[in-house]
Amino acid sequence: MGNWARKYAVYSFALMKYILLSLLILISVSSKSTAQLSVQYEELYSTHSNWFNGFNITQYKNISNCFSIGAGVEYAHAPLHNDNDWVLTKLQFVPIFIDMKYQFHPEKKISSYLRLAQGVSMNAYMKQDYPAQTPYKVKEAGYYAAGRVGLSTKINTVFSATVEMGMKAFHLSGNDMDVNPHGITGSIGLLVRPKKK
């Protein structure tokens, strides 16, 4: 393993520990009145014209009336992805991430917001370097990043419906040969706020 690869592995492991610790802290927060849970179905249309779909779950803690920070996990998959002239099949991605959200008018029934997320994605897929080759399994980790804008509509005091559009990448790096599905993403979901006691 080269020097760059060793540094990358150490960085990925350190970031993963930080994200997991943050997730545990957020889940164990005792003040439930300022907690929010987001569940979303999401699709990504990659720059290689392939569709990825899956879901994500994020637990938030309000820092202020407009700003919240959270941690979450996502699962995305695709049956086929062509990248760097390779044939990739049975792709599965599991990002664990820190999420920051700014909501512009949280007191209104319909409000817009901005979300930024980064983390580590655990990736697995079958790979063929050339068409006649027998596919072999690849497992790797990569730097995950996403940016989205969204609209939230209050259904009642507990539930809100959400819709989002943005950009997402599963394995950002400085190496053009890394498998990095990225493109336009859209999602629909539900935001749950526990009732205040």
**CATH (domain of 123):** 2.40.160.20
**What is residue 26's predicted lDDT score, i.e. its pLDDT?**
53
Asked if residue 24 is part of any domain, the answer here is yes
- Report, as ranges of residue numbers, the positions in the chain whose pLDDT lies below 50: 1-2, 4-5, 29-33
- The whole-angstrom separation of Cα 74 and Cα 111 is 24
Name the domain count of the chain: 1
Asked if residue 155 is part of any domain, the answer here is yes
Asked if residue 83 is part of any domain, the answer here is yes
Asked if residue 197 is part of any domain, the answer here is no
Asked if residue 187 is part of any domain, the answer here is yes
Contact partners, residue 41, CB within 8 Å, separation at least 6:
53, 54, 55, 187, 188, 189
Asked if residue 79 is part of any domain, the answer here is yes
For residues 94 and 121, the answer to whether their CB atoms sit within 8 Å is: yes
Structural domain boundaries enclosing 47: 3-192
Q: What angle do CA 149, 152, 158 make, to 5 degrees?
A: 145
Quote the tokens at residue 83. Answer: 């990248």
Asked if residue 157 is part of any domain, the answer here is yes
- The whole-angstrom separation of Cα 80 and Cα 88 is 6
Asked if residue 130 is part of any domain, the answer here is yes
For residues 56 and 72, the answer to whether their CB atoms sit within 8 Å is: yes
Taking the C-alpha atoms of 76, 52, 165 and 99 in order, what is their torsion angle to the nearest 10 degrees? 20
Give Cα separations from 165 to 32, 82, 112, 183 (angstroms): 28, 24, 12, 11
